[in-house]
Structure 1
Amino acid sequence: MADRFEFVLDVVESLVIAQAAGGDIRQYPLRIGTVPADPVRYVRVAAQVYRGLEERRLTVQGELHPSVEKAFGLLAKPRVSVAVTGVDGLGADIAVLALTDGRQAVGITQEPRTDDLLFSLFDDEDLVEVVTGVLPPARAATTGAHTVRQEAPRAVSAMTARRRAEAAEDEEETDAFGTIEVSGRVRPGRPEPRSARPSRGGAEVLERVLAEPRLGGGHVIVTGWGRRGERRAASPLSWLDTADGRYLVKTTEGESGDLSADYLPAGRSDVARAVRQAVSAVY
């Protein structure tokens, strides 16, 4: 069984350990600063860092605790990386990075007020559950599944673009969706779950829901690396929390540049399923 271990580091401690262990802590969506470029100052900072680590038993006689070393090793050579970024219902930032080598995984959560980093080592089999748990609890939306489409912008001259911009500024009332087309999706032959049935009003209901204040949302970005180092990216995945409940938003781009976004009512199990599919796609 893979190791389970937790520890907290501040940004400077993380930078010093990363430089010693060879892992790259400057990864999205973590907010990471810098250490002194001057060698003399850096040695002083590093000495102070290692004294603090020794007091917390994260180092022994200058050697990193094996679990700390393992966590930073995963930063250097992961098989899969999952970045979760957004805001919760209280407006606090969500910034979590999870990485796995196929056996051992580490989750790094940045505290929004102090920027401290909580490192959690866990088994690779728990990756989907851990990532799903990052999102604040929310019920699935009740308006059913809908698709939002937006045509690719056509190339115009600079003068035309300027005139259009000026005209847009003069308008007192604009359509919140512009050229976006919203349409309900119907799949015959398979009844939708009760929570996902389209309510009356269809597309108009979705427009009304999206016009109301948002209660949080964000993005889940899944990336993988093959055995030869080739990079693989899963399709974009976002979530949106509204007064009506949670939507998963899956965005695709057509060959002509047209954008299509599927708004799918999603409870916890739906989020877990989408994350699992994204992770499987990059392995």
Structure 2
Amino acid sequence: MFEGFTRRRIATSGAEINLVIGGDGPPLLLLHGFPQSHVMWHKVAGRLAERFTVVATDLRGYGDSEKVPTVEDHSSYSKRAMAQDQVEVMRVLGFDRFHLVGHDRGGRVAHRMALDHAKRVSSLTVLDIVPTLTTFERVDQALASAYYHWFFLIQPHPLPEHLIGLDPEFYLRRKTNMWGIGTAHFTQEAMAEYIRCFRNPAAVHAMCEDYRAAASIDLEHDRADRAAGVKVSCPMMALWGGRATMDRCFDVLATWRDVALEARGHALDCGHYIPEERPDEFTQALLDFLER
């Protein structure tokens, strides 16, 4: 995976971040989701690297990035802190402004980054999410049933960590199977990497803290922006799975137009894991957006 890419580890002011970088052209930062790592981009990174300098990182706490200490208000895993890591990584690599793509949790980090660091984000693409605040404010039985893990993972330590730790591979395989259209689209190499990282108790704890932050301090930041009228100002695209939960529970594009000055997007014929389920369609949609 990632043939021709270089692996780096960069220390930011908050965490050491693992990444791969390859290609040539305008910088493009790719942020993964739960319960994955930068490996989720392996089917699309090569083609994107033909036109862009592609940087695919592990978010703090995920993959091989640092598992930073947790604090009572969960701020060490706030999307603000996680976004700051990525801005600093790109600065070290020599990129003051870049295109940004985030899937799932990475999309939430990307959304926060586009708000906090608007001058650095040339464009924003989010995959199969609606804004965090929207999710919590509009949750109903259908969404809560499909996204039960949002409410399981935010339970106080050590309940979810202990239960997942009893059989982490079972939990990961169950979760990925629920959200996609089966698991055939995951290569053996990629799944092996996800399992390797997920077997680390510190990683599981970090992921829980990510969700706990989303249900607490992240909502404070989102509500403050809404009250102040702060919106995503760069060009934005949302893509989502036409066979996934977001499409059934929300008018996805409308939710993003509520929080962005300019938003476009559409569904793809797939489940949640867009770059692994439909790599060609995803890549073409992204190129069409970035090279418009």
Greater strand fraction, Structure 1 or Structure 2:
1
Which bracket does the TM-score occupy, shorter chain normalised?
A: under 0.3
TM-score, normalization by structure 1: 0.28
TM-score, normalization by structure 2: 0.27
Larger radius of gyration: 1
